[in-house]
A and B are shown apart, each in its own frame.
Chain A
Amino acid sequence: MGFIDTLSITASGLTAERVRLQAVASNLANARTTRGVDGGPYVRQLPLIESVGRDFGTELERNLAWAQVTEVANATDPFELVYDPSHPHADDQGYVKYPNVNILNEMVDMMTTARTYEANVNAVETTKQMAHVAISIGRG
């Protein structure tokens, strides 16, 4: 365990938050996309984050956890159905399926992601400062 480990943990957090922001960007951009690659409406993307750690070493080392995006999954909540028979993508009953993206939820996700990213950047700065202090011990 050292400051390098600490920095690598923070880096894993920054990566996880960046992926989360990418998902938000994709969801917002496609909030009204009625045709995706598979012919259906766009499906909300949901990054799954898990903590990964070591199961060996000291108690401290076993308690350190790296954040890892294991998968970007399709959200399973239902699509929004809008009655609009004139829409070219409407089904036989005249309903158009819009993506299961909730703009408000995405905005909240975006804000929490940005704040958490900032907190992690803050952690990098603090770790760096502590390492500098440690290096200069005994220089008088």
Chain B
Amino acid sequence: MSALLFDRLHSGLGVVLDLRASQQALTASNLANAYTPGFQARFIRFDTILADAVGATESQGMTRTDALHVGAPGDLPSAPPIEYVDPVPWSVDGNSVTPEREVIRMTENSIMFEATSTGLNRRLALLRFAASDGKAG
């Protein structure tokens, strides 16, 4: 893959879009099981993933050739860490889904999905502009 056209920012945006779509699937699953006894709500903890990726310096150009290798700082995880919500102690049936929290997470997630895709669109527009000798705009 050309480092010039499709750099880490470009592939990073794609990974984040994937993660956001995965989070939407998890939210759908949580809401569908809002009354399933013993069901634990699941979610992807974005703040730590993104903080790790943003706060780290540029990747040192190392390639992970084995799943057990430690990732270089700045790499986004290929498999998102999925966290479980523990039910509250007074929960009768062990279900830990809070519908209002899920709806809020869903709204935030779709906004971030749109924001990320806007970022991706801007980069593609930039490439199109460069590819057309600066004539198209």
Contact = CB atoms under 8 A, between A and B. Distances in A.
A120 B24 CA distance: 12
B25 A9 contact: yes
B21 interface: yes
A51 B28 contact: no
Interface residues of B, number: 37
A22 interface: no
B130 interface: no
A112 interface: yes
A112 B35 contact: yes
A127 interface: yes
A67 B33 CA distance: 5
Interface stretch (A76-84, A88-96, A100-108, A131-139): A131-139
Given A49-B35, A59-B82, A119-B31, 20 more contacts: A6-B21, A6-B25, A9-B28, A13-B28, A16-B32, A16-B35, A20-B35, A49-B36, A60-B22, A60-B26, A64-B25, A64-B26, A65-B33, A116-B34, A119-B34, A119-B99, A126-B109, A126-B110, A129-B110, A130-B21
15 contacts: A6-B24, A9-B32, A10-B28, A10-B31, A13-B28, A13-B32, A14-B32, A20-B35, A59-B79, A63-B29, A67-B33, A119-B99, A126-B24, A127-B24, A137-B121
